[in-house]
Structure 1
Amino acid sequence: MTYRFIRVIAISLLAAAATVPSFAKEPAKTDKPTIVLVHGAFADSSSWNGVIAELRDKGYPVVAIANPLRSLSGDARYTASVLDHIQGPVVLVGHSYGGSVISNAAVGRDGIKALVFVSAFAPDAGESVAALAGRFPGSTLGDALAAPVPAPEGGVDLYIDQDKFRAQFAADVNAKAARLMAVGQRPIAEGALKEPSNGSAWKVIPSYFIYGSDDKNIPPAAMAWMAERAHAKAAVVVAHASHVPMVSHAHEVATLIETASSASR
């Protein structure tokens, strides 16, 4: 390897290292809080695209976290580490399993203005996602899962069978988009779904809920119960929406996030 080639690589690496993520720089001159979005299992950050577009058009700084989906405690620590680099108030938003993550990551953080649960779990300390999902009848997720895939670190990863993905996860999303979501889904470690929560930030931080009446992953009755338990400031039920209202009803989700952002804590 020539000296010139090594020098080019070194310069490129230094340039990359000098690139600071936008959320770690000085905060934008705005009175709006930063919206931090945390996706759940079988999804990725692109599931927030419609919500992101609407919020950014209205001047909100937005960060969409790539949730590792490895363990609840680890995912919460990772999310908290991102929050450490955001200056100013934050509205923390979680979808599905991501609701458990934000419930833990927000504990003890004064800068969190509100929590928004989008078809999401809001566990109390000691509760797991798996336990909450089975508390009320109606979830058909178990029958839609593909064969577990052994994970290199131990345990197994879970995916939704691609042929069952739309009906189970995104029934109100058009077929072409749902197919792309199925192929691009992120797996979750089975252990993350069974790990008990260590925190319940919704007990002290104002919380807002939105979910679909036709959700097949989390029974709507479970989400209504969690919203009531959390004394939610608002609980919006989107008629006939699936488990991904942030995709199929991005406007309604963005509107609730704006409501949470505007309310005083």
Structure 2
Amino acid sequence: MPKDLVVFLEERQAWAGRLAFAAALARHWQAHLIATYVVRPLALDPHAGFAAGPALTQMLAEHEATAAAALDSARAEFAALTQRRSFSAEFRSSRDESGEALMLHARHADFAVLGPPQRQRNDVSALGLSEQMLLACGRPCLLLPDSWPGERLPQRIVVGWNGGREATRAIADAMPLLAAAASVQLVVVPEAKTRTLLGADPGADMATHLARHGVPVALEQCKGDDAGAVLLARCAALDADLLVMGAMGRARISEIVFGGATRTVLEQAPLPLLLSS
């Protein structure tokens, strides 16, 4: 069972539902909740590079005032949400952190909750691409749509399984959620390579493994050329609360160039994603 989780809150983005979702998870697991508020760098403002002279001084002052007010508001909302809690919690602010420094907030926790994939956004956030966080931090990352209800924890879960390392890691990372779910659909999209690797009944051994852990699992073998599209279709049909899958199932270069299940899901998924790499 996870002992701590971190939720990233980003200035100028809709994070209230994300925070409520993470708090509900922390309460369910009795885990320590860390909220890391990421102050938006001035460099992301497209107009910042055009200011000069007195206008630059005024712009910097306005930026600092806006950022400070947003930070205070987030801290107050966090305090109000967690003041009568059954779990421990802390609030952090992250300013001018990037790359490894930001990743450490996730690496020092069991679980990270992020916003939706960058591919579904119209702006660039301080965290950069959510999928970059995913690939770099080494922890399971749950990417949550901005409109997702904070109280809707996963009960109907779809798991993508192809026998690969990333999918194996994702299932292991998701085990606390899978064991507590009402139903888990293990979806395999058999192809020649999968059948050779997994035998005549692809997914049967993983379904047995999950059942030994008390997971209410059902195996489903689906036809299709696009595994990502098949997984999303099954999520829609089952009204799933969560899709669990490994990220970058192919070699990463071919995944970026040619697409693949990960790219399809990151571009189109309307539900929470738990991805591991």
TM-score by length of 1: 0.26
TM-score by length of 2: 0.25
Which entry has the higher C-alpha Rg, 1 or 2? 2
